[in-house]
Structure 1
């Protein structure tokens, strides 16, 4: 049977003065933890629907986390091979 690994992402969401901040935390196995951050701002002309701000901030935090994870993977490939790597999403 193939080995199965589980990585868990915890997302913390906070709101203050019309700004929503999301922080996505990943502890990938035994390597260093990674964190992605995303923000959303309520436009004064828009109706205040907090869940929309949460969705935008979380999406941005996950995107930031994905880019950081890909950068980490790129660095690991380069360290392993001794050659430049250009991983893309």
Structure 2
């Protein structure tokens, strides 16, 4: 119990620190546009989930989804010319 209390007191907050992320290339290839869950064009960066950043060797892989308790993130890696999110 004492260890738990001490660890809570020694935790540092990173609210004032700015985190910088670097852009990474599209895992499906440079000539493909990446779309997010809203259908908007986006770029991948080092702050994205690791599953989004791994190279895609399967030509039939169009989407990657990251699901967490807070919600989900989707990235469309291929086919953005032909597959678009329907507008409401």
Larger Rg: 2
**Global fold match (TM > 0.5):** no
* Higher RCO (CA 8 Å, separation ≥ 6 residues): 2
Larger strand percent: 1
Question: Under a length normalisation based on structure 1, what TM-score does the superposition of the two structures give?
Answer: 0.23
